Amino acid sequence: MSFRFDFGRNPAVDSLFNKACDLRRSLSVSPDRIEREQNSSLIAEAEQVLCHDLAREPGTTKLNGNSLARIFLSLAYSDASWFDFDTFFKYALLDSVHTHHETMSAKNAANTLWALARMGCPTNQTSFEPYLDSEVTDCLLQILYQRSDDFIIQTCSNVLWSFASLDFDYADIELLLPYILCKIYAEMERDTQLARCEAKCISQLKDFLDYYKHQFSEKMKQDIFQLTLCVNHRIKEMAPPHSSATHREVEKVLRRCTTSVFQSEVSIGGGYADICFVPEKVVFEFNGPTHYEKDGRTLNAHSRFRQRLMKKNGYSVYHINYLDWQNAKNRENFIRDLSLVADLPIRTAAPQPSLTIFMPPQGPSIVVESTTPVFFITIPRDPPKKRPRDEEDDREIRDVQRAPKYARY
């Protein structure tokens, strides 16, 4: 049975969503910190729209499941973090899901879940901050389970990636997986090897498969066998990302400081590890400003998920903060210290020759130690070439020989 809802459009939500889409396009072109600061005004506008609706009397709300999902997508598209919101707004977001989940379609529920995962909403209570509790999770899972007939391939990939990113217990999602796989295989019959599927969708499927691969039952492993082959084939066809100039600089220093062999842009899950020591199962991640929250030190939700995914695949992950790299006085020592922590063999620095200067015997001797090696290079010179004899030279010699003896002096 297919569910369709038509509650009309909310102009305030539509305006918010359009601004978020514009900001998302600008972030994809120039993802620097100046552009990312623009999300503060969008967060304030979303808070105003949501809180204004919550202040209404019951039964007079203008929001529904579709408009609520667009609010969540607007926040996620603007690259907002859960830690950017105040406590009241966090409670308002979670309460609105519980209030309007009955009017959500499968796509709305999937987009809401994906936005919560993208913003880094916690799933367990570590402090007094609001978190994604079991009550809100059950509401969304119930909608996904009841209206799974409306799934498309993009909805399936969003849901599966959200499960992995939010670290859902496998037992909670096991009943929903057969319905999602049925939709995916139906799409594979129409689109061989998912050739028309977007790269983002394939990456999200790969993340899910690698995240839960140790928890799949034997029957589930047989069910996802064809999907795994298809996804791995598409991942191999994708071109790896281009390394930045700073990333290449880190590689040059690393080659001088360690004897281990490493590779760049190694595929792990749906993403790529910057520098990977495959035999040692060690990964070095060079993180620019887009990998952190506003403080420049706390990893954002996506980077934390990538770290958990690599650890589940048996890798030890070490992060190189761009601020630490810029402020390092001696970058070779910085890499050597990191290699020692990662238990990698390091290349010892070559001894530096010293330069000794002695004064003449009558004066005191002075020894100067220099840390910079000095080399003396002697360039051999060819002996001067003699000019070949010509007829004029022979004529002069004959004139001297014919002259009288007294004339020769």
What is the 3-class SS of 12-56, one letter each residue?
A: HHHHHHHHHHHHHHHHHHCCCHHHHCCHHHHHHHHHHHHHHHHCC
Residue 199: half-sphere exposure toward Cβ, Cα within 13 Å: 8
Q: Are 29 and 118 members of one domain?
A: yes
Q: Are 266 and 187 members of one domain?
A: no
Q: Are 20 and 135 members of one domain?
A: yes
Final residue of a structural domain among 94, 121, 150: 150
Q: Are 184 and 286 members of one domain?
A: no
Q: Are 265 and 228 members of one domain?
A: no
* Residue appearing with tokens 């390091």: 346
Final residue of a structural domain among 191, 220, 238: 238
How far is 279 from 327, CA to CA, in rounded Å? 31
- Domain for residue 279, yes or no? yes
- Domain for residue 371, yes or no? no
Q: Are 232 and 220 members of one domain?
A: yes
Q: pTM of the entire structure?
A: 0.79
- Domain for residue 144, yes or no? yes
pLDDT in tens, the chain (409 residues): 444 444 457 788 888 888 888 877 776 655 554 455 567 788 888 888 888 777 666 666 678 889 999 999 999 988 888 988 988 899 999 999 988 889 999 999 999 999 999 999 998 877 677 889 889 999 999 999 999 888 999 999 999 999 999 999 999 999 999 999 999 999 888 887 788 888 899 999 999 999 999 999 999 999 999 999 999 999 988 888 888 888 999 999 999 998 888 999 999 988 899 999 999 999 999 998 888 888 888 999 999 999 999 999 999 999 999 999 999 999 999 999 999 889 998 877 655 554 444 445 554 444 444 455 554 455 556 666 666 666 676 777 676 666 655 444 4
Q: Are 119 and 4 members of one domain?
A: yes
- Domain for residue 334, yes or no? yes
Domain residues for 66? Answer: 1-150
Q: Are 194 and 269 members of one domain?
A: no
Phi, psi of 273 (to 5 degrees): -85, 135
Contacts (Cβ under 8 Å, ≥6 apart) of 269: 203, 206, 207, 210, 211, 306, 309, 310, 313
Final residue of a structural domain among 150, 185, 206: 150
- Domain for residue 61, yes or no? yes
How far is the CA of 178 from the CAs of 109, 125, 137, 208, 209, in angstroms? Answer: 18, 30, 19, 14, 14
Q: Are 99 and 27 members of one domain?
A: yes
Q: Are 112 and 180 members of one domain?
A: no
CATH at 280: 3.40.960.10
- Domain for residue 389, yes or no? no
- Domain for residue 363, yes or no? no
- Domain for residue 186, yes or no? yes
